Amino acid sequence: MRIHRGSFSRRIEAVALVVPSLLLGALVLIHYYVLEPMLAGGLSHLAMFAVGAGGVLVFSFLIFDRLSELQLRERQQAEALDRRGRQLQALNLAGLTLSAELDTASVLQKIVDLAREVARARYAALAIFNENGEVVQFLTAGLTQAERERIGPLPRGRGLLGLLQDEQRPIRIASIADHPGSAGFPAGHPAMRSFLGVPILWRGRSVGNLYMTEKVGAAEFSAEDEEAIATLAAQAAIAIQNARLYEQVGRISVLEERQRIGMDLHDGAMQSLYGVGLLLEDAGEKLPTEQRATRGTIERAVELLNATIAEMRRYVVGLRPIRGAERPLSESLPTLASQMGDQARLAVEVDVDPEAERDLDPEQREAAFYVAADALTNVARHARATQARIRLSHGEGRAMLEVRDDGVGFDPAARASGLGLRNMRERAFVVGGRLEVGSQPGRGTTIRLELPLERRA
């Protein structure tokens, strides 16, 4: 360990050099002017030795005691710096961990676990509030399930917890019981003394509080602990908001998909079934007098029913979750083609370049699979095609996925806002790719996804 020498340490060094010289000079003078005149030669030498030895011992004791004190202080400072370094490392890891998590429940539990680790606390808790400031979630770390059950229901914002929520500023105290705002603990609650509480603020509004109790290895939490937990609280606010926005986007997507399903069913299958009902009503009226005409009507109704059933089957295939994005595209794309082809009576050819597949990272491979799945679903539902082809090829610094069909085609400008195309474009954007749609009425459709490969260089 390297000791940094300050001005005080340099003074100690000067004293260690100068004082022995002065003492030696003083000892010589005392011997010459005092001891020799008073004592015989042998006794004067012995007395000089005793005085010199005593002076050296006293001086050495004082110097070594002071140096030991300085070394202890330096060691304590080094330990504090080491603790601070570990704390900052934990905060950095916390930021990376929270930024990668989008599930709200997982985010909240990770926040309270990280707070306990960063502050080196025996217990930690996280309270989440609703718009009215009521505690709607209370997560803990360091407590067993049995201890949680003994504590009872969620806290109601009394005592220090309520004070922290009202003042929205950190509170750090050595003894909970000695604080005037303390309201005590419920029956079955573990004993707790030291306390550190920090609000979690998002745009000036409190969304929750972090609580730490029982500092490990010390009587109370330090100012460094408070600063570290305040930093974690700022990270937590962003992570909580990101997770909530992600869930909100998911709910919006579900609502949009439900609306699209309702419109498609209304415009397709329901209209067809309504037509079948009219045909059967007409057949019922003709049956007593026009049996031959009635038979033709019933046959047309049966044909229409069969066509509607086939359309519904294709629609369900489009809604069914498709598994296989985690497998190599040389396996998953042929499986996808077989599944979709069988359901839609569609001949699908698959051609995968091994070099192109090797250069894709997992996120790009997943995007390519789902773009192919969305494209084939659109072919099965809308194109009225008999043949389709999926091709993954390799070019200069890029891989290209192409899905082509021989269906009726469409005007891309008129249908650019469709959910399937929007999903494909979003997948391409997320992995840094580009999606192109080429189609003309009566000439089929080509979906082309270009994926850059520079990231794997």
End-to-end CA distance of the chain: 43
- The burial of 190, by beta-carbon neighbours within 10 Å (0-12 exposed, 13-18 middle, 19 or more buried), is given as middle
Residues in the chain: 457
| DSSP H/E element including 63 | helix 41-99
Please give the pLDDT value at position 69: 78
Give the least confident one: 98-107, 210-219, 313-322. Answer: 313-322
Instruction: Name which CATH class applies to 324-456.
Output: alpha beta
Q: Whole-structure pTM over 0.85, yes or no?
A: no
Answer whether 101-246 and 324-456 agree in fold. Answer: no
User: What is the arithmetic mean of pLDDT over 3-26?
Assistant: 63
Please give the pLDDT value at position 457: 40
In this predicted structure, the answer to whether residue 101 has a pLDDT above a threshold of 60 is: no
| DSSP H/E element including 266 | helix 223-267
Name the more confident of 133 and 213: 213
In this predicted structure, the answer to whether residue 276 has a pLDDT above a threshold of 70 is: no
Please provide residue 150's backbone torsions phi and psi, each rounded to the nearest 5 degrees.
Answer: -70, -30
pLDDT in tens, 163-176: 887 888 899 999 98
Q: CB–CB of 216/122 below 8 Å?
A: yes
Highest-confidence segment of 69-78, 274-283, 346-355: 346-355
- Report angle CA 357, 359, 361 to the nearest 5 degrees: 90
DSSP for residue 380? I
Contacts of 202 (CB under 8 A, 6+ apart): 237, 238, 240, 241
* Placement of tokens 């929007």 in the chain: 422
Q: CB–CB of 403/346 below 8 Å?
A: no
- Of the pLDDT bands very low, low, confident and very high (cuts 50, 70, 90), residue 310 is low
- Of the pLDDT bands very low, low, confident and very high (cuts 50, 70, 90), residue 352 is very high
Please give the pLDDT value at position 422: 79
In this predicted structure, the answer to whether residue 446 has a pLDDT above a threshold of 90 is: yes
Q: CB–CB of 173/151 below 8 Å?
A: no
In angstroms, rounded to a whole number, what is the distance separating the alpha carbons of residues 135 and 163? 14
Give the least confident one: 31-45, 113-127, 243-257, 361-375. Answer: 243-257
* CATH topology for the 101-246 domain: Beta-Lactamase (3.30.450)
Please give the pLDDT value at position 444: 92
Name the more confident of 455 and 407: 407
User: What is the arithmetic mean of pLDDT over 212-220?
Assistant: 91
What stretches of 203-288 adopt beta strand conformation (E)? 205-215
Q: CB–CB of 221/196 below 8 Å?
A: yes
Q: CB–CB of 354/366 below 8 Å?
A: no
> What are the domain boundaries of the chain?
7-94, 101-246, 268-315, 324-456
Please give the pLDDT value at position 3: 44
- Of the pLDDT bands very low, low, confident and very high (cuts 50, 70, 90), residue 106 is confident
In this predicted structure, the answer to whether residue 357 has a pLDDT above a threshold of 80 is: yes
Please give the pLDDT value at position 431: 85
Name the more confident of 242 and 254: 242
Output the six-digit token pair for 87.
């704390």
Name the more confident of 157 and 231: 231
Highest-confidence segment of 79-88, 242-251, 337-346: 337-346
Please give the pLDDT value at position 215: 92
Q: CB–CB of 397/355 below 8 Å?
A: no
Residue type, 382: H
Please give the pLDDT value at position 271: 56
In angstroms, rounded to a whole number, what is the distance separating the alpha carbons of residues 163 and 160? 5
Output the six-digit token pair for 457.
């260089």
pLDDT in tens, 391-429: 999 888 899 999 999 999 988 776 555 667 877 888 888
Q: CB–CB of 111/233 below 8 Å?
A: no
Give the three-class secondary structure for 206. strand
Q: CB–CB of 452/432 below 8 Å?
A: yes
Q: CB–CB of 444/361 below 8 Å?
A: no
Mean pLDDT of the chain: 76
